[in-house]
Amino acid sequence: MGCTAFLTWGDYFGDQLKSYNTETQFISVGHPGLQLGLPEKINRRIIFLLNTDPNGKVTGLDAFHEQFWALLQWVAENADGWEIIVRMHPMIPLSIAERDLLSRFKCIQLHDPANKTLMESLNKCDLALTVSSSSVIEAAACGVIPFILNPAPWSFKPEFYAHRAGFEFDNVPLAIERLKALMLNPGDLLEIRGNLIEFRKKLFLTVGDSALNNIVAAINSLIISSKAGRN
């Protein structure tokens, strides 16, 4: 890694990196830019966190954009009584054709990052659907359960599914079957949400000003140690 110390949001990240960076000290400090949230109930609200490839196609990973788009359309056509938010990628907007297609579904709210913060989009959501968007980590901080379509031969990190704190599927039919069950019995999400709240303690030692104070303290301690080592 080429550094003597590395500050992380929580113990999970240091644990993942230690075996590859045995000479680096990993220090959990928290995330200064987040607030932890916990929805009080099931709100029947789903958010799609989109990435976009250079050709303007909706995608998580470029090779899998068609599968992700198919899942999005299925949800829009079948999620009766559910509110659906589609959040655009902040750097690459959707094409006009894609906007027109999404506008056909009355249940969809299209959120432009220029007008809505990520926290506003995630507010009161139950599920965050994505392929590879890193925003799913912020979703977890808000208490929104990750639902990941991952056709790749490697597991999504963090491994929400392994901790029973989220869902991960390698194909659309399996993802749809699980969504069907959740839409019929949304109360099943409460147990998963409880697991997510426990798992995120490993992801974020703390948040906000407390994390900022930890960062300052860690840097000062490292500076003092470095000076002492040179004397």
Q: Which residue has the tokens 């426990």?
A: 198
% pLDDT > 70, the chain: 91
> How far is the C-alpha of 26 from the C-alpha of 137, rounded, in Å?
20
Question: Which string of DSSP letters, residue by residue, matches 73-141?
Answer: HHHHHH-TT-EEEEEPPSSSPPPHHHHHHHHT-TTEEEEPTTTS-HHHHHTT-SEEEESS-THHHHHHH
Q: Is the pLDDT of residue 38 over 70?
A: yes
CA atoms within 13 A on the CB side of 136: 29
**What is the model's pLDDT at position 66?**
76
- Tens digit of pLDDT for each residue in 161-189? 999 999 999 889 999 999 999 999 999 99
Lowest mean pLDDT among 43-57, 75-89, 208-222: 43-57
Beta bridge partners of 85: 47, 109
Contact of 209 with 181, CB cutoff 8 Å: no
Q: Which residue has the tokens 């249940």?
A: 107
Contact of 149 with 131, CB cutoff 8 Å: yes
Answer with the residue of higher pLDDT: 100 or 230.
100
**What is the model's pLDDT at position 230?**
67
Residues 6+ apart with CB under 8 A from 41: none
- Going by C-alpha positions, the residue among 184, 89, 191, 93 that lies closest to residue 134 is 89
Provide the pLDDT confidence category of residue 53 given band limits of 50, 70 and 90.
Answer: low
Q: Is the pLDDT of residue 70 over 90?
A: no
Q: Is the pLDDT of residue 156 over 70?
A: yes
Lowest mean pLDDT among 47-61, 132-146, 183-197: 47-61
> How far is the C-alpha of 197 from the C-alpha of 145, rounded, in Å?
10
**What is the model's pLDDT at position 54?**
47
**What is the model's pLDDT at position 3?**
85
Provide the pLDDT confidence category of residue 58 given band limits of 50, 70 and 90.
Answer: very low
Contact of 130 with 149, CB cutoff 8 Å: yes
Contact of 107 with 44, CB cutoff 8 Å: no
Cβ atoms < 10 Å from Cβ of 24: 16
% pLDDT > 90, the chain: 58
Supply the DSSP symbol for 45: E
Task: Enumerate domains of the chain plus CATH numbers.
Answer: 5-31+204-230 (no CATH), 45-203 (3.40.50.2000)
**What is the model's pLDDT at position 76?**
92
**What is the model's pLDDT at position 116?**
92
Q: Is the pLDDT of residue 122 over 80?
A: yes
Provide the pLDDT confidence category of residue 224 given band limits of 50, 70 and 90.
Answer: confident
